[in-house]
A and B are shown apart, each in its own frame.
Chain A
Amino acid sequence: MGYQGHFRVWRGSDQGGGLEDFTVEVNEGEVVLDVIHRLQATQTPDLAVRWNCKAGKCGSCSAEINGKPRLLCMTRMSVFAEDETVTVTPMRTFPVIRDLVTDVSYNYRKAREIPSFKPPAGVAPGEYRMQQVDVERSQEFRKCIECFLCNNTCHVIRDHEENKESFAGPRFLMRVAELEMHPLDEADRVAQAQSSHGLGLCNITKCCSDVCPEHIKITDNALIPMKERVADQRYDPIVWLGNKLFRRS
């Protein structure tokens, strides 16, 4: 049943740090977060880790396990061999605060830059009518638990710090798509997706979709359709000609 597992956990702060080795008990049915908790309770009482629901619903315990962005609470120990060393490191795209905890404020800044839902004028609360098939498109994106693993893995900001200023990341480009596809939202969001939120920087490698613990098809269902809408508006030859003739920019 139980065995002694080998763990390598990154410990440190914004001043620097490194991997530390631990040997720790692992029991049947456990997930990586259980083992991290056992380390806290028995060997390293001040090991910092974020977590809440322990059921993949709150998106707090994001980290990288053997280099892969994952939720600690949804990664079962049974996927590793008993003699395998499990390496746990903080998300790389965001600055480290301590141990496995990173500063994710980038995400909250970007959330604020997306104009909010614009309710339909003249429709009283209680009078909203929408068909299930129409709400389902945005509902898929609202399954997002904001674990920020998609933003963590996206090379546009993972490897290019300088893009953080102009790029909202898959999470918040998907938020733009969600509002754009909301049956009753009255704002036009297409032009801004490109000009303010950096949609053009995405080159649809689908890394975000691969790491999404909610299995949301971020690229196929949110980003590509948004790119198509941008293309329709910006690159339609008739619109282009009209803009030239009538000097609209």
Chain B
Amino acid sequence: MPELERHSFDVLVIGAGGAGLRAAIEAREHGMRTAVLCKSLFGKAHTVMAEGGIAAAMGNVNSNDSWQVHFRDTMRGGKFLNNWRMAELHAREAPDRVWELETYGALFDRTKDGRISQRNFGGHEYPRLAHVGDRTGLELIRSLQQKVVSLQQDDFAETGDYESRLKVFQEFTVTDLVLDDGRVAGAFGYWRESGRFVLFEAPAVVLATGGIGKSFKVTSNSWEYTGDGHALALRAGASLINMEFVQFHPTGMVWPPSVKGILVTESVRGDGGVLRNSDGKRFMFDYIPEVFKDKYADNEAEADRWYADPEHNRRPPELLPRDEVARAINSEVKAGRGSEHGGVFLDVSTRLPAEEITRRLPSMHHQFKELADVDITAQPMEVGPTCHYVMGGVQVDPDTGASSVPGLFAAGEVSGGMHGSNRLGGNSLSDLLVFGRRAGAGASGYVSELSARPVCSSEAVAEAERVAVAPFSGSDEGGENPYTLHMELQQAMNDLVGIIRKAEEMDQAIKRLDELKRRAATLVVEGHRQFNPGWHLALDLRNMLVVSECVAKAALMRTESRGGHTRDDYPQMEADWRRKLLVCRLPGADGPGASVEVVEEPQIPIRSDLLELFEHAELQKYLTADELEG
């Protein structure tokens, strides 16, 4: 066996999307020798898929906006289950993070007076999303990527080596974290290209690995979204919260089959697009929930007036939070009022002039034209819900991103709490920057206070290596094909723990997952370790299975409906449940029979000055009587 490649850094960042890159920039600026490890090429992370914008209360378009209003909207969107401190930090710091991007070279669309333009989005009271047409994620990733290069150029000027302080290891997968007496000591993984194993020794790891969507059949997520960070954290002994909350974006493409699930940006609705059923009816007026009745228009005339005069009219119901819209579409289709391919119609062609559509929504225009032969300036789009985002993730300290495992930090989609039970559109990109920066600083602070560096033991490394090569030595008889297993997992999660859930189906899902876990132990892959996608999938499956188990078990326990968790058998939201977090852990993580444990823990009460930002009448809808008294 060739000698193991080894590197030593102060801070390792796993993931090179918005949160990972912002964390790496911060750690490097704190003087840490920093490495970024990413599964794809540098600059291809899933953040590029974000379309609509980045939410920040800059007040450029409506000066009534402020961090307090943004905080309120975020808590409402998450049905008050959010970690209030995260929601507060996020709302306060998002504007600075956006302005900082301009110093990296980002070019947002402008207002008439030359400031950053902001657009309307679901659940946001004022126009709040900084944007670049409908390719905001690309702008964000490119700006951060170019900032990384800029720092590397500074280091080159000083040391003669571009990578002396900040190095990107691309097309590299981490399979396990290495611990020393319960603390982070490093990470083990392989080059996707060569299959060679590498050990990174580092006292701090920032997880920024994104989400879990590849466990579902219909998803807007790419192959990278296999819950790696969630699983690494679990196996290291950290806990996950809110895993029952999975966001189904209301508008994914439904046809042709090969693009089913690909995202159609919420900006289509923010800019005037409406949803219609097969009778041509704007059905969202029938789905305004009680808690939102005073904020959303109940007739078309008022809804249409809102675009020009938001002060005196209520918002169109197409702009309700995503969970509401997704459920409404689901109901229309179930009631037989869907489109030919099982979706509903999203129409902007009758709402805006063609040239305005191509200017504001260029990539949607391009996407539908090239992939579905649909001209969105002349025809409606067919859309339906698609698995988009997981609200749940690693339980962290809001200020530093620290998990319960010393040296392990998390930021972005892989962390949990910020979005409560449902994330508002536009709050993801801002989350990445605010908490990416905080986790980078948190990790740097942790490392500088260490007196001795933890050590990666040779036994731990040998074990990580054994697990990674296991799929090559599986028995030939009855050996499972990773592609088949993956398809079965996706089907089970989609059918049994999808957008509408009930107890017996989730029971079935848990049994199915158990069986899949057993079969996964006999996975066999062909070929060798050099760029072998079958092997990569086999290793990713281990993560998808454990994360799916968290989702299914937590979803079964939460006997209410809230945000991204809808129970057919418990359709009401219960104030008592708002005070409870479901916490997932993996005891005996090293053993083959390890199984996820979910326990109820109390939610931290909201700080009183933040509670005072809401009307009492509104709080009554969410809080229990004794909370309101106190």
Contacts and interface: CB of A to CB of B under 8 A. Distances in A.
B235 to A, nearest CB: 25
B309 interface: no
Nearest to A133: B110
Given A129-B113, A139-B107, A45 B525 contact: yes
Contacts of B115: 129
Contact of A47 (B222, B259, B533): B533
Contacts of A142: 107, 132, 138-139, 142
A45 B132 contact: no
A46 B534 CA distance: 6
B193 interface: yes
A145 B259 CA distance: 19
Contact of A125 (B96, B263, B370): B96
Nearest to A29: B256
Interface stretch (A57-65, A190-198, A200-208, A221-229): A57-65
A29 B372 CA distance: 7
Interface stretch (B63-71, B145-153, B201-209, B342-350): B145-153
B403 to A, nearest CB: 27
Nearest to B527: A46
A50 interface: yes
Contacts of B366: 56
B49 A57 contact: yes
Contact of B105 (A41, A46, A104, A179): A179
A115 interface: yes
Interface stretch (A80-88, A94-102, A159-167): A94-102
Contacts of B483: 40-41, 45
A41 B89 CA distance: 45
Contacts of B419: none
Interface in A30-65: 30-31, 34, 40-41, 45-60
B46 A53 contact: yes
B531 A56 contact: no
B149 A116 contact: yes
Interface stretch (B36-44, B181-189, B297-305, B577-585): B36-44
A29 B153 contact: no
Given A51-B223, A57-B48, A132 B109 contact: yes
A58 B222 CA distance: 10
B107 to A, nearest CB: 5
B532 interface: yes
Contact of B531 (A74, A99, A143): A99
B180 interface: no
A143 to B, nearest CB: 7
Given A76-B370, A126-B99, A129-B115, A46 B40 contact: no
Contacts of B150: 116-117
Contacts of A119: 103, 105
B371 A55 contact: yes
A56 B256 CA distance: 15
A108 interface: yes
B532 to A, nearest CB: 5
A27 interface: yes
A210 interface: no
Given A57-B49, A129-B115, A40 B534 contact: yes
Interface string A209-223: 000000000000000
A40 B367 CA distance: 25
Contacts of A139: 107, 109, 132-133
A71 to B, nearest CB: 10
Nearest to B156: A112
A131 B117 CA distance: 11
B446 interface: no
B223 A145 contact: no
A27 B257 contact: yes
Interface in B353-369: 363, 366-367
Given A40-B483, A52-B222, A58 B48 contact: yes
B533 A125 contact: no
Given A129-B113, A145-B48, A146-B43, A48 B532 contact: yes
A104 B193 CA distance: 12
B532 A55 contact: no
Contacts of A55: 49, 259, 262-263, 367, 371
A192 B9 CA distance: 35
Contact of A58 (B44, B96, B258, B262): B44
Interface in B225-279: 255-259, 262-263
Interface in B107-132: 107-110, 113-115, 117, 132
B609 to A, nearest CB: 26
A132 B528 CA distance: 52
Contact of A29 (B42, B100, B258): B258
24 contacts: A30-B256, A31-B258, A40-B483, A45-B533, A47-B533, A52-B40, A52-B46, A52-B223, A54-B259, A56-B367, A112-B149, A112-B152, A116-B146, A117-B150, A119-B103, A125-B96, A126-B58, A128-B99, A130-B107, A131-B110, A135-B110, A138-B107, A142-B138, A143-B135
Given A57-B138, A145-B138, 13 more contacts: A27-B258, A31-B371, A40-B534, A52-B46, A53-B49, A54-B259, A55-B263, A101-B531, A104-B41, A112-B162, A128-B102, A132-B110, A132-B117
Interface of A: 13, 27-31, 34, 40-41, 45-60, 74, 76, 97-99, 101, 104, 108, 111-112, 115-117, 119, 125-126, 128-132, 135, 138-139, 142-143, 145-146, 179, 182, 185
